[in-house]
């Protein structure tokens, strides 16, 4: 079957190919009646514009590259929703690439996106291969690193201190009088490692041991994994007074396993999670957690990219600390009103 061309649309609409091109690229540049005729012809013929040809004819691609470490974890859903909500409305297409927590795959994704001439790259995290960092630093497009704070940002950095958040969660448990506090995690990626560093520092400050209180499995965080890790810990006889989980899914799994084993939360053991996912407030008991600003991070990253593109320049280095919140619920305290603290960003 022959491919429908711009000339076919022009013939059906009764206008020139140049007029069709102008109507599709910039609908406001033509009259409403003409725009309707062109759109009607496009729909009737099933015409799909040749994007590659358009890119060759213009310096604009109207595409933004986004790299996330996984599409499995729900924590990136709000983030990606915010990016799409801002960028698509502004007329951009969002290309999402999954690096699968691999710095090598991330490097390949950066090369692929730059090869497609994206107008900006929004990337999760701050840890990259030397080649990736070089590519990003030398790219003549806005670069946004998100979710973490870097000591050496490439361009724009919007995130939070994962270590400080881990420290805050652990200090909350210590403040409740607990001394045997375990740490549960799945994949020990850079952000989970930073949360552990915060946990370890808080335990050291309290003069307590921590290294033997870790339950870890190199798998995606999930409810099932949380249940499995807690079950193994309990079977070994290592029942702590409290647990800090690096993900709410792990925390929910640990609480479900407690229920199966007739261990009461928080009477027998307290549990705190991370990210404050939607189900955390609805769990039974409700789950204490560190609330991270994922939607706000994505929205601000997209807005900053649009501002940079409007100025036709790659902005200078800027860092924005989004902060986080400690949300105290029933899983660590029956008196849930005693502490609900917002920890703002420092910049």
Provide the pLDDT for residue 7. Answer: 86
331 & 187 share domain: yes
- What is the tens place of the pLDDT at every residue in 206-254? 999 877 788 889 888 899 999 999 999 999 888 899 999 999 999 999 9
Domain presence at residue 144? yes
In a domain, 55, yes or no: no
For 43, the domain range is: 6-49
- What's 239's DSSP letter? -
Q: Are residues 175 and 255 in the same domain?
A: yes
pLDDT, residue 338, reads 44
User: Quick one: 123 and 167 in the same domain?
Assistant: no
Kindly state whether residues 154 and 167 are assigned to the same domain: no
Q: Which residues, including other chains, have CB under 8 Å from residue 103's CB and lie 6 or more apart? A: 127, 128, 129, 132
Residue 282 lies in a domain: yes
Residues 82 and 13 in one domain: no
Q: Are residues 34 and 86 in the same domain?
A: no
One domain for residues 152 and 167: no
What is the per-residue pLDDT for 23?
85
Q: Write the DSSP assignment of 257-289 as a string of letters.
A: HHHHTT--TTTT-EEEEEE--GGGGTSSSPPEE
d(CA 160, CA 321): 5
Number of domains in the chain: 3
Residue 56 in domain: no
In which residue ranges of the chain is pLDDT below 70? 1, 50-59, 312-314, 334-347
Is the separation of the CB atoms in 9 and 45 below 8 Å? Answer: yes
CATH of the domain at 123: 3.40.50.2300
- Give strand pairing partners of 102: none
Same domain, 152 and 272: no
Nearest Cα residue to 186 out of 176, 195, 178:
195
Let me know whether 111 and 227 are in one domain.
Answer: no
Residues 170 and 272 in one domain: yes
Residue 86 sits in the same domain as residue 40: no
- Quick check: is 143 in a domain? yes
Is residue 58 in a domain? no
Task: With respect to residue 168, please indicate whether it lies within any of the assigned structural domains.
Answer: yes
Backbone angles phi, psi at 292, to 5 degrees: -105, 150
* Residues 175 and 280 occupy one common structural domain: yes
């Amino acid at each position: 079957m022959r491919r429908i061309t711009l000339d076919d649309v022009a013939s059906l609409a009764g206008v020139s190919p140049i007029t069709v091109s102008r109507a599709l690229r910039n609908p406001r540049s033509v009259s409403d009646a003409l725009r309707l005729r062109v759109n009607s012809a496009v729909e009737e013929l099933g015409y799909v514009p040749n994007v590659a040809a358009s890119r060759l004819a213009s310096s604009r691609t109207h595409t933004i590259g986004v790299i996330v470490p996984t599409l499995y974890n729900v924590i990136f859903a709000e983030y990606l929703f915010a990016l799409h909500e801002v960028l698509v409305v502004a007329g951009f297409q969002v290309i999402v690439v999954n690096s699968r927590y691999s710095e090598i795959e991330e490097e390949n994704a950066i090369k692929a996106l730059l090869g497609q001439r994206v107008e900006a790259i929004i990337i999760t995290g701050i840890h990259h291969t030397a080649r990736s960092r070089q590519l990003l630093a030398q790219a003549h497009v806005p670069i946004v690193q998100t979710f973490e704070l870097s000591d050496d940002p490439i361009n724009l950095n919007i995130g939070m201190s994962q270590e400080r958040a881990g420290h805050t969660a652990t200090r909350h448990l210590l403040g409740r009088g607990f001394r045997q506090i375990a740490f549960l995690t799945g994949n020990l990626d850079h952000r989970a490692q930073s949360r552990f560093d915060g946990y370890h520092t808080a335990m050291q400050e309290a003069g307590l041991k921590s290294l033997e209180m870790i339950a870890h499995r190199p798998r995606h965080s999930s409810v099932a994994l949380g249940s499995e890790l807690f079950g193994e810990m309990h079977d070994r006889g290592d029942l702590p007074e409290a647990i800090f989980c690096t993900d709410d899914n792990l925390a929910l799994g640990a609480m479900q396993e407690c229920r199966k084993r007739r261990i009461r939360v928080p009477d027998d053991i307290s549990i705190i999670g991370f990210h404050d996912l939607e189900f955390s407030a609805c769990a039974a008991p409700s789950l204490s957690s560190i609330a991270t600003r994922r939607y706000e991070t994505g929205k601000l990253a997209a807005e900053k990219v649009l501002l940079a593109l409007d100025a036709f320049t790659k902005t200078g280095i800027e860092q924005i600390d989004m902060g986080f919140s400690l949300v105290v619920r029933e899983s660590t305290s029956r008196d849930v009103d005693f502490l609900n603290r917002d920890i703002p960003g420092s910049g």
